[in-house]
Copies of this chain bind each other. A is one copy, B any other.
Amino acid sequence: MRSATSVEIDPVFVERVVMEFARFGAWGATGVWRTVYSPEWVAAAKQYADWCAEAGLEVHKDAVGNVWGRLRGAEPGPSIVSGSHIDSQRPGGRYDGALGALAGLIAIRALSAQFGPPRRTLEAVALCEEEGSRFPTAQFWGSRAIVGRIAPGDAVATKGYEDETIADAMREVGLDPALIAEARRDDISDFIELHIEQGPILEQAGLPVAVVDAITGIRHLRVTLTGEANHAGAFPMDMRRDPMAGFAEIAAGVVNTAHRMGRPAVTTVGRVIAEPNFPAIVPHTVQFSVDARHPDPAQRDILYARHDALMREVAARRGLEIVIEQSLDHPPCLSDPGLVATFEKAARDQGIAFTTMPSGAGHDSQQMAEIAKVCMIFVRSKDGRSHTPEEFSSIPDIVEGVRVLAAGLHRLAY
């Protein structure tokens, strides 16, 4: 084992790039509204490319608009890459995504300055679209292009909230949708993504950073319970087939199931629509969502099976029709154990207190896992807030996160 190497990260530079980058699409005092292929996004991508060039990296913009900055290694072979997305929610905050793109750049710049050319090639990347905040079905557009998960007709079929296609939006910023396949990479061995936690766990634990050992599995169900609409006064309780009563039992039950399983199981009923939705009529239909997540494949199966059994039991007992549609099913994405160990060691080497935890949200790393070993680093979020202008992480915490990232990259590439 090599001895610990101290990696220096300049807090002043970190604060400058984070705050300057947040000006592209600035929304109110602290928010950002920067959707893919918008003028704000074009300006942000150009700024990222300029900073890469200033750091001495070879800059390349690929066929979908991902911006790459390369620090060539002395040895041939695949690249070690770090980055994240630079598009935002509408509006989101300064940190979701952007911080990871900047962290990759800051870390590689610092390594280059402090240790010179690496043995292995390092790359920073600003991915072009993760949120799907302009094109709701285009989630992970940038990382999907890299791993070859965009089919030939997708760009024309992918519509935005204002009915424009993503193909047209690409052309407007000088990209040719016919060339998307050229963004594919097969020469990346490792992808490390720094990101804000977007939850309260690090804050509660009093820790600045975490090494992420898995991205949770997630299933979205759209459930429709149908009973019989009746007069709220004239129809006795014992004769009703009330889908609201069934929904209430199910929603309480699935939430309790996840709660009892304990962290990191989570289940959310975020959406409910009753028909006809009048106070004095027993509804005939209640439609609702069930978002359930677990990063452990075996525990996930138990969580999902318990939900399904509960829903079907309640519906059958109450004489309700039930239709369960699965609108999303991402399996858990496990981080590479070797990378997890490397970044845990890097944090310890830098004397930075950390924990190891799964991510409850989805990230570009899930896509990158198709072609590379992946790992993530989380930085503490204030109040667990994200997807809002109030999202906040402190510069000292960010610096600790970038130090862990840089120290780990140093272990891998030098």
Question: In the assembly, what is the distance between CA of A376 and CA of B239, in Å?
Answer: 23
Residues from 229 to 256 in A contacting B, C-beta threshold 8 Å = 230-239, 242, 244-245, 247-252, 255
Would you call A394 an interface residue if the criterion is a C-beta within 8 Å of the partner chain's C-beta atoms? no
Would you call A280 an interface residue if the criterion is a C-beta within 8 Å of the partner chain's C-beta atoms? yes
> Which of A154-162, A181-189, A193-201 sits within the interface?
A193-201
Residues from 217 to 234 in A contacting B, C-beta threshold 8 Å = 218, 220, 222, 230-234
B contact residues around A278 at 8 Å (CB): 270-271
The minimal Cβ–Cβ distance linking A347 to chain B, given in whole angstroms, is 20
Determine which of B220, B230, B258 lies in contact with A279 in the assembled complex, contact meaning CB atoms within 8 Å. B220
Determine which of B199, B230, B238, B239 lies in contact with A236 in the assembled complex, contact meaning CB atoms within 8 Å. B199
Would you call A78 an interface residue if the criterion is a C-beta within 8 Å of the partner chain's C-beta atoms? no
Would you call A134 an interface residue if the criterion is a C-beta within 8 Å of the partner chain's C-beta atoms? no
A233 touches B384 (CB 8 A): no
The minimal Cβ–Cβ distance linking A193 to chain B, given in whole angstroms, is 15
A234 touches B270 (CB 8 A): no
Against B, the Cβ 8 Å flags (1 = close, 0 = not) of A186-215 are 000000000001111100100000000000
Would you call A359 an interface residue if the criterion is a C-beta within 8 Å of the partner chain's C-beta atoms? yes
The minimal Cβ–Cβ distance linking A307 to chain B, given in whole angstroms, is 14
> A277's closest neighbor in chain B, by CB?
B271
A233 touches B293 (CB 8 A): yes
Range of interface residues on A (Cβ < 8 Å): 35 or more
B270 touches A232 (CB 8 A): yes
> A295's closest neighbor in chain B, by CB?
B233
B281 touches A234 (CB 8 A): no
Q: A242-B255, A252-B248 are in contact. Are A232 and B280 (CB under 8 A)?
A: no
B contact residues around A244 at 8 Å (CB): 251, 255, 268-270, 272
B270 touches A235 (CB 8 A): no
B255 touches A252 (CB 8 A): no
> Which of A56-64, A116-124, A259-267 sits within the interface?
A259-267
Question: In the assembly, what is the distance between CA of A245 and CA of B384, in Å?
Answer: 19
Residues from 353 to 386 in A contacting B, C-beta threshold 8 Å = 359-362, 384, 386
A237 touches B259 (CB 8 A): yes
Question: In the assembly, what is the distance between CA of A127 and CA of B279, in Å?
Answer: 25
B contact residues around A268 at 8 Å (CB): 232, 242, 244, 279-282
